[in-house]
Amino acid sequence: MLKIRDEGIILKPTKLSFENKAVFNPACIEVNGLTHMFYRAVNLQDVSSIGYCQLKNNQVVKRLTQPILASEFDYETKGVEDPRITWLDGTYYLFYTAHDGLNARIAYATSQDLLAFKKHGLISPSITYDKAEDIFRSSAVKERYRMFEMFYKERKGKNVLLFEKDASLFPQKFNHKFVLLHRILPGIQLIYFKNFTDLTDSYWRHYLAHLGDNVVLDPFYWYESRNVGGGCPPIKTKAGWLIIYHAVEDTPLGKIYHAAAALLDLKNPLKVIGRLKEPLFSPKTAWEKHGVVDNVVFPTGAIVKNDRLYIYYGAADSCIGAKSVELDSLLTAIKQS
């Protein structure tokens, strides 16, 4: 049995107008002993922005009173959401979900100092879910992929674009190419590309035609009965790439979001070494079970410190919590599974 330590609530909403409803789903990176946290902040109008704070020993030592990233363009009028951050080749890459009220798509920004970020726009395809499903239907994906296409068309309309969320970048290149984890429901996939400018609609169409070859994880265990999705950016360990992801269980009383873990091969991240048969952790405390959205633990940021893995997550879409676990114990448990 893994011993998961509850580190408690790390961040709560304030009375500031950009974060007076909720704060959750943070990106985290440690630099020189400080943990830099970029978190989703929601105001009373349900518009999201990205706030920023610094932690030392899980205590807030600095917190900005304005968002570090906010809505600017038509494709993000409803907000910028759920950031993930990676340091690669001298640049910080911050990926986030851009939401226009109908469509959710992947966008990214870069920084050299973690304070000033330059937005680079969308990288998701401008292809309707209807058309995307026509393309990936013959690519050896499971039938459930079609179920989600039908779900979004019925819920959002036939012109809704392919829903793309939960993107994070590997902190190294493979054969001189970026590797990005992303999520087309109900699984987690990855894409290789040499330059971000390669990610045109025609590039995505070719990729979607071979989507089944690029699936890393599909739902498998009981607690993943609805879907899985990306969580924290991949962490390189001696045993493989550690992936902390979220899994959604469908129950008669509604969805339950769990935290999960898997290991991918160091040279070929499409190869799964192992994954936990049980959740890494699940909603248990009152503040994880009750909030803006009940029964949610949603891991999005992690750091390794003193041989422990600290996982930062959104709790009930209301506040930010943290758990920690001995890293070697976790790796052993995944390999044994």
Question: Tokens for 167?
Answer: 């993107």
pLDDT of residue 77: 97
pLDDT of residue 242: 98
User: What is the DSSP code string of 235-249?
Assistant: EEETTEEEEEEEEEE
* CB 82 within 8 Å of CB 300: yes
pLDDT of residue 158: 93
Question: Tokens for 130?
Answer: 């209807």
Q: Treating both helix axes as pointing N-terminal to C-terminal, what angle do 201-209 and 129-136 enclose, rounded to 10 degrees?
A: 40
Give the 3-state secondary structure of residue 202: helix
Q: Summarize pLDDT for 149-204 with one digit per residue, the tens.
A: 999 999 999 999 999 999 999 999 999 999 999 999 999 999 999 999 999 999 99
Q: Summarize pLDDT for 254-272 with one digit per residue, the tens.
A: 999 999 999 999 999 999 9
Q: Find where tokens 């910080």 sit.
A: 92
pLDDT of residue 217: 98
Q: What's the rounded mean pLDDT across residues 23-48?
A: 98
Cα–chain center distance at 121: 18
pLDDT of residue 236: 98
Q: Give me the residues paired with residue 128 across strands.
A: 161
* Percentage of the residues of the chain whose pLDDT score is greater than 70: 100
Q: What's the rounded mean pLDDT across residues 64-81?
A: 98
Q: Find where tokens 């009930």 sit.
A: 316
Q: What's the rounded mean pLDDT across residues 200-217?
A: 97
Q: What angle do CA 288, 293, 295 make, to 5 degrees?
A: 40
Q: Summarize pLDDT for 87-123 with one digit per residue, the tens.
A: 999 999 999 999 999 999 999 999 999 999 999 999 9
* CB 41 within 8 Å of CB 51: yes
- Mean residue pLDDT of the chain comes to 97
- pLDDT tops 90 at residue 240: yes
pLDDT of residue 1: 79
Where residue 144 falls among pLDDT bands split at 50, 70, 90?
Answer: very high
Q: Summarize pLDDT for 278-287 with one digit per residue, the tens.
A: 999 999 999 9
Question: Tokens for 203?
Answer: 């590039």
pLDDT of residue 317: 98
Q: Find where tokens 């976790």 sit.
A: 330
Q: Summarize pLDDT for 6-32 with one digit per residue, the tens.
A: 999 999 999 999 999 999 999 999 999
